[in-house]
């Protein structure tokens, strides 16, 4: 299953499909390769209950043409 991608232009809008307080994993993905960005060999993943803030933080200061954020729900429905 492919996770939804939220470009920076949508980062300030709450994703309406996500239930409130649902735990999420937010990843920074390189659009050119489709791979998750890594720091010291480990994938950069933010675990949060507020994906809008995590997306804004990950995309802050980054080029929209190169980077995107992907949100994956963790666990079952709330």
- Summarised one tens digit per residue, pLDDT across range 24-64 is 999 999 999 999 999 999 999 999 999 999 999 999 999 99
Binned at pLDDT 50, 70 and 90, residue 11 comes out as very low
Closest residue by Cα to residue 4 from 63, 42, 22, 41: 22
Q: How confident is the model at residue 75 (pLDDT cuts 50, 70, 90)?
A: confident
What pLDDT does 70 receive?
Answer: 96
Work out the number of other CB atoms within 10 angstroms of the CB of residue 8. 18
CA-to-CA distance for 30 and 58, rounded, in angstroms? 12
Task: Provide the whole-model pTM.
Answer: 0.68
Average pLDDT over residues 71-76: 87
């Amino acid at each position: 299953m492919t996770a939804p991608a939220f470009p920076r232009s949508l980062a300030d809008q709450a994703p309406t499909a996500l239930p409130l307080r649902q735990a999420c994993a937010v990843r920074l993905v390189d659009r050119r390769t489709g791979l998750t960005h890594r720091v010291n060999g480990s994938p950069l993943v933010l675990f949060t209950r507020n994906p809008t803030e995590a997306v804004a933080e990950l995309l802050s200061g980054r080029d929209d043409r190169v980077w995107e954020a992907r949100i994956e729900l963790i666990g079952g429905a709330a």
